[in-house]
Structure 1
Amino acid sequence: MPQLNFELPAGVQFSDEPLPNPPVPRDAATVILLRDTANGLEVFLQRRVAAMAFAAGMTVFPGGGVDARDADASVRWAGPPAAEWARWFGGTEPVARALVCAAVRETFEESGVLLAGTEDGVVADANRYADARRQLVSRELSLAAFLDGAGLTLRADLLRPWAHWITPPQETRRYDTRFFVAVLPEGQRADGETTEAESSGWQRPQDALADADAGRSMLMPPTWYTLRELTEFDTAADALAAERRIQAIIPTLVRDGDRVRVIVEDA
């Protein structure tokens, strides 16, 4: 099986040997937001602030860790059931439900895009829920409580499974992250109104990769790998329709002089 080598910037700290008691990875969800433009397919990216404990200064997709309340079974739900997501990603139905809810919540918190709707369709203007967005960020409000109070239904049918990445056991902060893909709903706008990002915006995947190659940005291996995959699609519909074989990817970290090399088995 061929390998892909990806260099991390100098100064990355990790253990040369597997930790004797590596931390259990925390469940997390990442959402790859897409849109079609006259210049081609674009993806929404955010550069994390330098003060962040994880992936500081890196350019990433919206996402974050699962909150215990994301597993609330009272969330109104439309689309593939939790059992189907569990089959796609592997794992239990409660974890799958929590991951989908986390994907919707984190996307709304970090980009203002709300993958929810009513009997009339998908929300067209998410700005009306700005107060709820702030309360979700501060954890004053759970996703279930927000959706119930707003009379909204989570739209799992707007999401597709994309990938599954697990942080190497050599790192002290680990995540078990499932990647989703979704198209920007008509009428909605993705913004950068989050304290976790210093800048946000849309880019063609090939342009984002070129920025990283030129040293204008830094990408985590899963982000780089995903952007490379997205260059193969002309439209968002093509990406959503792609058949995906979801397998857990755990990169290997190898010290190479002053650099850290990430080796990813190319499935």
Structure 2
Amino acid sequence: MTYRTLRVSGRTKMSVLLLLASAAPQLGLAQTLSPLAFSVASVRPNQAGNAGGEGSERETITLTPANLTMRNVSLRSAIRWAYDLRDSQISGPGWLESQRYDISANTPGQTAQAEVRLMLQNLLADRFKLSVRRETKDLSVYAMTVKRSGKLTIASGGANSVLPNGGAIEFHNYSMAELAERLGSRPFRLDRPVVDKTGLEGVFDFSVKFADNASDLKHTLEGMEQGSADGAPSMITILQEQLGLAFKVAKAPVSSLTVEHAEKVPTGN
């Protein structure tokens, strides 16, 4: 085999060095991109909530295109929203529930909710020195099965969507796996994770009625969420009767989060 030596002129060497030098900052930038962060954020203890008394546990979380506002929230609630989990999936010290805070944060322009959640994770790590560990545990879940067939309609096409219609909420192009995931958030908020055991393939169109008209819908849902809707059927009952689904308590491996460290007093704004 014959080996040949490639001679490089001084000018060529200089060109290569300049090219590498100009590329180095870009390579470094790609490796050290800053984590997602709010443009401005304020985190303060809520003195009224920490003092106890009537309404001391009432929390509000509001997300707009430009701002995330949390009033009188526990750190557990903030963690739950940031990581999109349920209470049963979070473990840690008891004070995570008792201490109350106000969080107000501005997003840099139009920001997707998934990115806002990541921003809040980073904010909690910064201000509360929050350290968490993700793991899988066998937790109590609802196994969702079919109780009565014929309640779900095969999807007629179109986009995956959730829209209010009068006193009902309509779901289009939804799979049973997507519904199981949705049941942990509004308007359902079931108290434990749901695992799809229906065996139903494909996507469906269905509607869940909560009130007689649009004006009563918001009031009814808020009352059910707060447990103050007198005479209202439980969410499980609504799903059983209207969608023909059944829910049985079982054990299943579920992604969970353990708080390893957090400080009660957030760092200054």
Would you call these one fold, judging by a TM-score over 0.5? no
- Considering Cα pairs closer than 8 Å and 6+ residues apart, tell me whether 1 or 2 has the greater RCO: 1
* TM-score, normalised with respect to structure 1: 0.24
* TM-score, normalised with respect to structure 2: 0.24
Between structure 1 and structure 2, the one with the greater Rg is 2
